[in-house]
Amino acid sequence: MFPMPTGKLHIVPLGGLGEFGMNCMAVRWGDDIIVIDAGLMFPEAELLGVDIVVPDISYLIENRHRVKAIVLTHGHEDHIGALPWILSELNVPVWGTEFTLAYVEDKLEEHELLNDADLREIRPGERFKVGPFTIHPIQVTHSLVDCVALAVHTPLGVILHTGDFKVDPTPTDNRLFDLHAFAEYGKEGVLALFQDSTNVERKGYTPSERAVRRKFDEVFARTQRRLFISCFSSSIHRIKLSVELAWEHGRKVAFIGRSMNSSAEIAEDLGYIEIPEGLLIHPGEMKNYPPEKVCVMISGTQGEPMSALSRAAVDNHKHAKIEKGDTVMLSSRIIPGNEKAIYRMVDHLFRREAHVIYEDGSSPPVHVSGHASQEELKLIINLVKPKYFIPIHGEYRQLKLHAEMAGAMRGSVGNVILLESGDVLEFDELGTRKVGRVNVGRVCIDSGSRTDVVEDLIIKDRRHISEDGIVLPIIAINKLTGRVETAPEIVTRGFAPGEDGFMDGARQIVTQTLDISSDEEKADYGVIKEKIRADLKRYISKQTQKRPLIMPVILEI
């Protein structure tokens, strides 16, 4: 019998448990940490003006000398989007499959971090070592290509992290889900299984990627004019299918939208898509072909305001002109929170008198999910038979339902543990327990730049201004004498002053405050501004019950 290692294994989810997106998890043994995934999240509407949200990585920064690598399961934004932000703080090696790294390179180049990055390619089935961990990437199927689950061999046993997956028996790239590897680990014994919870509310099985082929074929056959297809730019399976069907139905293909172009280029370079000679045309050439000979792959399936499809829907795109009788197919799910933007765009497409096809639950489907439904989740649990089961990737209700589902599978699962982002889960030879929490949360970033962090205070101010507006009292003070030269002016934006005489009263308040202030106070702009602000706030609150942002401005004359 081998002696049991005396040491503690810590699992620390830094994001993705209790929310959608920001998937990021630290695995620590002694003085070594590896990080699985580094995702972002798109902001909810209440985060005004924020472009992306990334996890708070203060735990990693406090342990910067211990972080040995970031290992990626696949190339979706909610798994790689925070890399520029993390790598600018911690430049550690990043391991990923060939396709995932191609996406990462694009992203790092945009942020001018590519030259310093240490990117290392992994291949499904080929193990590699990082510190005390041996990592075995296992081929899985998902809505993106080249995705892996990770079996991490630690001194205490194997932990299995599924990444995002569905069990697709007929993937379009013929790279099969490696059920055999999961079954082998089940025989050898698995300490803990961390499993994707995204679709735990769906019964049955998630259909194969090939299930959309029937609908696509039908649409290609029926469409009499131009066909516009919009899918996530990372849906390589759908792009491949569209290219094949366009070739079969005698249509030329144009790619419109930056993300769509770069994805198609990467997929073609790496051999995931073959584009027959002469099939591809530049968007500018579309007008040279009869409408029934053109198929356009266009980005913007979620109604993003500046995306190509949103602009085409309001006839504001120089190449993509959608005309009466054209067909627009949205092959993607509606991400919760985006409903308004998507339906607004669909309304505009109807105004253009286009035929619009979107997910409506009909069969055959126009879109299938990339995440496992209940039966596939159970299948993997049955194969792996983990000692401990921990649901990951999902909002709290999904983690809870997933935990209940696994808990009911008595023969296959030892113990079920419900974790949230920030919990520290400790394993040792005696068992497992939660041992406290680390600092987690979200860091809001403006305009896609990795440096423009938006503090909570700023978001509070933005909300404040959006609700009650802004009031600027402007006072001209003579620099030499300290005298107030003209009557105070008051400028407002987004603030409704109420009844007549209100503004006069506000001016009087400012004048009174200045009158009762000493020359010294007037000479100290910080003090006088604060006094004006406090008095004006009291007056406005009493008169209107509103609390606008008040910013006194002092002009020196």
- Comparing CA positions, the residue from 316, 349, 317 lying closest to residue 330 is 349
Extract the tokens encoding 167.
Answer: 């069990």
Domains and CATH numbers, the chain: 9-204+369-453 (3.60.15.10), 209-357 (3.40.50.10710), 455-556 (3.10.20.580)
Round to whole Å and give the CA distance between 394 and 375.
17
For residue 111, give Cα distances in angstroms to 84, 85, 219. 7, 9, 40
Phi, psi of 137 (to 5 degrees): -75, 130
| pLDDT at res. 522 | 76
Query: Locate tokens 């007929």: which residue?
Result: 170
| pLDDT at res. 1 | 41
Give long-range contacts, CB 8 A cutoff, 24+ apart: 302-307.
302/332, 302/334, 302/335, 302/338, 302/341, 302/342, 303/338, 303/340, 303/341, 303/342, 303/343, 303/344, 303/345, 304/341, 305/341, 307/257
| pLDDT at res. 359 | 82
- Comparing CA positions, the residue from 363, 391, 417 lying closest to residue 200 is 391
Eight-state DSSP code of residue 61 = H
Query: Locate tokens 């604060």: which residue?
Result: 530
Query: Locate tokens 């209100």: which residue?
Result: 502
Instruction: For the chain, give the percent of residues with pLDDT over 90.
Output: 62
Round to whole Å and give the CA distance between 295 and 93.
41
For the chain, which ranges sit under pLDDT 70?
Answer: 1-6, 43-51, 446-457, 459
* Neighbouring C-alpha atoms within 13 Å toward the C-beta of 214: 8
Round to whole Å and give the CA distance between 246 and 261.
17
Extract the tokens encoding 536.
Answer: 């004006």
Query: Locate tokens 């079996």: which residue?
Result: 151
| pLDDT at res. 210 | 92
* DSSP conformation letters of 505-533: HHHHHHHHHHHTS-HHHHH-HHHHHHHHH
| pLDDT at res. 287 | 92
| pLDDT at res. 555 | 84
Phi, psi of 420 (to 5 degrees): -125, 165
Extract the tokens encoding 139.
Answer: 């081929």
Round to whole Å and give the CA distance between 268 and 404.
43
